Amino acid sequence: MTRTVSILGSTGSIGKQALEVLEGLPKEKFKVYALSAGRNIELLRRQINQFQPNVVCVELEEDAIRLAGEFKNTEILWGAAGLRRIAGNPVNDVVLVAVNGLIGLEPTMEALKNGITVALANKETLVAAGDIVMKLARDNNTSIIP
């Protein structure tokens, strides 16, 4: 059975480590559905070429436009709405939220609302909205993995 994973913050240290782990696992076990990055577009390009995600999200619209021209078979999104759309897609088995600051709160909540397991590498989400996030996980019979 193939597990589908999305990594929000794929160009940061935790995101890069997660991709290194996935790289070492059998390809039939895991599929990278989506990646997101802030401004490290060069590294993101390499990750897109290597992992062939269905969807990518970047911070800035102009980066999204450039990437859409380069990667015709990948859906390119941008901004917070793009992160929410990726995280809430029921194709995901796990969403790794490894983005900095409160930008991770909304995609975390979106994943949990849809019953998707969240691997959370973002302490601000729990500090700012721990009660809400934990209730969403319980109410939707899913997990938060710290």
Residue 2 has pLDDT above 90, yes or no: yes
Report residue 1's pLDDT band, with 50, 70 and 90 as the boundaries.
confident
Residue 36 has pLDDT above 90, yes or no: yes
- Taking only the tens place, the pLDDT of each residue in 93-142 is 999 999 988 999 999 999 999 999 999 998 899 999 999 999 999 999 99
Euclidean distance between CA atoms 108 and 131, whole angstroms: 13
Indicate which CATH number applies to the domain containing 9.
Answer: 3.40.50.720
Which letter, b or e, does each residue of 119-144 get, where b requires 16 or more Cβ atoms within 10 Å of its Cβ?
A: bbbbeebbeebeeebeebbeeeebeb
Weakest mean pLDDT among 10-14, 26-30, 69-73: 26-30
Q: Are 76 and 64 in contact (CB under 8 A)?
A: yes
Q: What is the mean pLDDT of residues 8-28?
A: 96
Residue 112 makes CB contacts below 8 A (sequence gap 6+) with 118, 133, 136, 137, 140, 142, 144
Q: Which of 108, 100, 107, 144 is closest to 124 using CA atoms?
A: 100
Range of the domain at 58: 3-145
Q: Are 108 and 134 in contact (CB under 8 A)?
A: no
How many distinct structural domains can be found in the chain?
Answer: 1
Chain-wide mean pLDDT for the chain? Answer: 96
